[in-house]
Structure 1
Amino acid sequence: MKQFPAATLTRDPTSLKEAARKEPVAITEYSRPKFVLMSYDDYVALSSRAADPRRSFATGEMPDDIRKLALEALDQPYDP
């Protein structure tokens, strides 16, 4: 994730918006991430998935990113 100092909001908002159109970006204060700026479409996708964290999926309807995480977890050895 790219990071921009908070001063970029006033000094160069265009570059900040262009970067956020491509992927979420962190806005920093004193070199520490404090906020995230992202496109509205990314926000809607993220918030709709988070609406119910208990949601289960059938294999055929599982979003690609969740499917990838599930398959990676299945490949890991079981370590209680």
Structure 2
Amino acid sequence: MREFSLAELSRHSGDVTSVANREPVTLTHHRKPRYVLMSIEDYKKLAASAAQTRRVFTVENTPEEVAEWLLPALDRFADGEDVTNG
């Protein structure tokens, strides 16, 4: 990922946005990464991908395959076992 400072963005916005049309770019402030600039198409792909990987369930609508691995872990957790590593 290419990096540009905010000052470079101000002076050469056309160049920076041209790169951002091809790939996300990091925008820095005082040499520290602060922002990411990307095309709207890349953002929509990223947002759609994130939405597909997140799933929330209530007790009533938890799929059986999720409950099969979740319930034993909850039992171990209730017994005071460490469940952070599987």
> Structure 1 length normalisation: TM-score?
0.64
Look up the match of 1:21: 21
Cα distance in 1, alignment partners of residues 50 and 36 from structure 2: 17
Structure 2: segments with no counterpart, 5+ residues: 56-85
RMSD: 1.6
Instruction: State the SS of the aligned residue for 1:10.
Output: helix
Over residues 30-53 of structure 1, what are the superposed CA-to-partner deviations in whole Å (9 max), with x where a residue is unaligned? 111100000000000000111143
Which entry has the higher C-alpha Rg, 1 or 2?
2
Over residues 7-41 of structure 1, what are the superposed CA-to-partner deviations in whole Å (9 max), with x where a residue is unaligned? 12211100100110110000001111100000000
Segments of 4+ in structure 1 off by > 2 A?
52-55
Name the aligned partner's letter for residue 15 of structure 1. Answer: D
Over residues 28-80 of structure 1, what are the superposed CA-to-partner deviations in whole Å (9 max), with x where a residue is unaligned? 0111110000000000000011114346xxxxxxxxxxxxxxxxxxxxxxxx9
Tell me, yes or no, if structure 1 residue 53 matches structure 2 residue 53: yes
The percentage of aligned residue pairs carrying the same residue is: 39
Tell me, yes or no, if structure 1 residue 34 matches structure 2 residue 37: no
Name the aligned partner's letter for residue 9 of structure 2. Answer: L
Cα distance in 1, alignment partners of residues 2 and 48 from structure 2: 24
